[in-house]
């Protein structure tokens, strides 16, 4: 089985979750799922059938750090 096939299978069975503060409707949110090798899958809740982004642990950690420091606040 090719690496791409392994990732596809892993994404299909991933434990997707969204932020608890996203509300009961879950509109305009992203979902994340932990993957092997420290990677993280990221997808749009409104389009779960679209291919998700997969980022490395380092990229995810940098994103979280920036979010905690307010880099993305408007």
Asked if the structure places residue 9 within a domain, the reply is no
Task: Examine residue 41 and state whether it is found in any structural domain, yes or no.
Answer: yes
The dihedral over CA atoms of 25, 36, 49, 17, expressed in degrees to the nearest 10, equals: -10
Number of domains present in the structure of the chain: 1
Q: Confirm whether 5 is domain-assigned.
A: no
Report yes or no on whether pTM surpasses 0.85: no
Write a three-state SS string for 16-35. Answer: CEECHHHCCCCCCCEEEEEC
pLDDT, tens only, 27-53: 678 899 999 999 999 998 888 788 899
* Residue 55, domain extent: 30-74
Q: How far is the C-alpha of 41 from the C-alpha of 27, rounded, in Å? A: 19
* Residue 46 placed within a domain: yes
Domain assignment present for 51: yes
Reported as a pLDDT band with limits 50, 70 and 90, residue 57 is very high
């Amino acid at each position: 089985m090719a690496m791409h096939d392994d990732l596809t299978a892993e994404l299909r069975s991933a434990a997707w979750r969204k932020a608890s503060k996203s509300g009961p409707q879950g509109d305009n949110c992203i979902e994340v799922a932990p993957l092997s090798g420290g990677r993280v899958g990221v997808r749009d809740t409104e389009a779960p059938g679209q291919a998700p982004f997969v980022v490395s642990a380092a990229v995810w950690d940098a994103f979280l750090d920036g979010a905690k420091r307010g880099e993305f606040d408007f």
